[in-house]
Structure 1
Amino acid sequence: MSDIPQERRVLTAIPGPKSVELQARRTAAVAAGVGSTLPVFTARAGGGIIEDVDGNRLIDFGSGIAVTSVGASAEAVVRRASAQLADFTHTCFMVTPYEGYVEVCERLAELTPGDHAKKSALFNSGAEAVENAVKIARAYTKRTAVVVFDHGYHGRTNLTMALTSKNMPYKQGFGPFAPEVYRVPVAYGYRWPTGPENAGAEASAQAIDEITKQIGAENVAAIIIEPVLGEGGFIEPAKGFLPAIARFAKDNGIVFVADEIQSGFCRTGQWFACEDEGIVPDLITTAKGIAGGLPLSAVTGRAEIMDAAHSGGLGGTYGGNPVACAGALGAIETMRELDLNARARRIEEVMKGRLEEMRAKLPNGAVIGDVRGRGAMIAIELVKPGTKDPDAAATAALAKACHAEGLLVLTCGTYGNVLRFLPPLVIGEDLLNEGLDILERAFATL
């Protein structure tokens, strides 16, 4: 654990004068297309705290977008990565391999769902993992079509932009996109026309009908879905939806890919979110929480599918970098030793309880249309009172009010009206409750 005091401290305006000065340098040197949620410049981070260059300490409800689940300076990650740095930083696994890469693949085979023989390939980013999952599925099935879902997010490369649902800011002006990508409905319970109780059965039937009639199941290489949709608004597909889609894939020789890049590695209170309904994917893509903040991603799956690509067909210069692999082994060690699945479930208990209280008692509580999520992947969807009309302006105002008080929160959602909470799984319960106090006060000012 970091030696940063686990206490919120606001000494200046947020951002403070040193951050403002650095922001001016950034504006001159960094491309405008690279955004930031909050322009405070980090000096150090750990546990549930981010300390900025002005000495302010912010409560972290973002974890670098679900990356620093074990904290931003976890002892085992720092220890293992530092030791690896001293030995060598790179040889390229495709030139002369090393044990760390193999060991990460062994851990992934143990941890991912299913008792079948599994293999992995390691990459740098979530988008790379998804793109390589498509390559592998196409090589295995000798088919080309890929099916994705409304509200899904899969990355920023050309292919993964095509897979991603939301146009702005991810796709606008960047086309044309890769072909043979088809989008079908997802069981978004809160917004399903006949209600959440019908969403699972109706949405899966509708999706399967569209695949069958518009694409042809025999043409589909892969169906890709986030078991909890991340950027699209922390949407948990209604019960029954995922099992129905997985059965359809199996019955039709389609590779079922679970994109667990945001939801994996204890984030939802299980090692992987697809375990909630007993889904055993053919391939699973991981990144974010895998390596305690170091850039690493993976595709893990059935050995016979993973072996379908020819030798040399998968890889990349930095894929499975030895320092990142060491970090991953440290992160997994931390998750096991601290039982971070149990920590995530406790965070859900605290957060959902408090958020439901806010919805019930605040005079403007009607603006919270939905409280949802699992583990430490929790969200509220904000709507105009008395309606389900998305209220992106209120969401932005709430986030801004939280930031000013030293609480880092993130927004998301296809309509920009979801406030998402991704605290580090190692956050202290006192900080968790203090962050929720700040949020409650922010609602009072709305």
Structure 2
Amino acid sequence: MVLVNSNYKFNIDYASNFKDDFESSYSINESELKLKMKYYLDEKHTFNYGINSKFYMVSPGKIYPSNRESLIEELSIPKERGLETAFYFEDSFEISDKFLLNAGLRYSFYTAFGPASVNTYEENAPKNDETITGSEIFKSGEVIKTYGGPEVRISGRYFLTPTFSTKVSYNNTYQYIHTLSNNTTAAPTDTYRLSGSFIKPQRAAQYALGFFKNLANNVYEISLEGYYKTSENLLDYKVGADLFLNENIETEVLQGEGKAYGAELLLKKRTGNLNGYIGYTYSRSFIKLAGGFPAETVNNGEFFPTNFDKPHDLSAVLNYKLTQRFSFSANFVYQTGRPVTYPIGKYNFNNAEYVLYSDRNQFRIPDYYRLDLSFNVEGNHKIEKFAHSFWNISVYNVLGRNNPYSVFFVTDNGEVKAYQSSIFSIPIPTITYNFRF
């Protein structure tokens, strides 16, 4: 039996020369109870089964003035609470020395609880502030909405030779906690929401196939894996949505159909003074938002790239042991820039000027790449010590690449100007002294 609690909190402290200094934060608290059991039926079958229950408490966000002179008004979005409980059973079946099969079933239940005030809306009308007809009050512990369903997992591995194998798998999942990100602002503005009256659980089904080959007495390993994934109730947002500290978030979000696919080629060197890996992944991710009203349809109801669509991903890690005491390592990462929506023009309507934007995610921010280097100096191994120590000298982002986190736009005197925000855009050296007992 395992009892786990985690608490995550994100905070922004904004200061300026004007009277708009503020602090903003959101948090996620999860408490989980796990009961795991294992039963060996015979040399062919091993059963794993159990139950786990997780309680979510999400604070979607709050803002408050950071000093007495600030004109910012305090605002807090009510907390959300939910309980996910699941039973699972899994059989690891060794059909033969060459063929291994793993099959399992997990059934999850989810309940959203009060206290909460849930809006009601006009029937056969889009959800917005104008179509709110009232609200329904739920007391503490009162059930707001329930969801649930089966999650199937099956995988098989077959050894064609002692050093060459293939693996195939299928699984489907339910997700009851959701992330909403607005990456067109100057700072990260993620918000988390639980499934409830208006936000359904995200469902996904994934198929995968892989080939694995060991070479030179298992010194090298090369693998090729591909996958195809379909999703339901993927969460995104309306055109011009306001996600920041919005109590009526259901008026701004949409849920649609998703599809994703990709392949990864990976080469590893496991042993020797020189070891590491290099991997390349090609992947695509798309979403379709086709609601029953024009305000709930994006890009004419056709598939378009999601915010996570980064077709090319190259990563490499190199470790080299110079001597018994001195070693060197390097890490390189390259990714295609994520999709973004840009303003492409202006137009006038009723004597007012408006900005015209491109289709959702039609453009991309600049590509991301980063090189990190480190050097380790071990203690003297010839002398027996109670604690072994070593120095690590590292430089993060050696090339000083100004990788953009977000690209955002500001209208200044009728002119739309583009800006980008970056995190750690200069080389960052660190020196650490470590002990190992």
Please classify the TM superposition score into its range, dividing by the shorter chain length.
under 0.3
- Larger-Rg structure: 2
TM-score, normalised by the number of residues in structure 2: 0.23
Going by fraction, where is strand more abundant, 1 or 2?
Answer: 2
TM-score, normalised by the number of residues in structure 1: 0.23
Q: Which has the higher contact order (CA 8 A, sep 6+)?
A: 1
Going by fraction, where is helix more abundant, 1 or 2?
Answer: 1
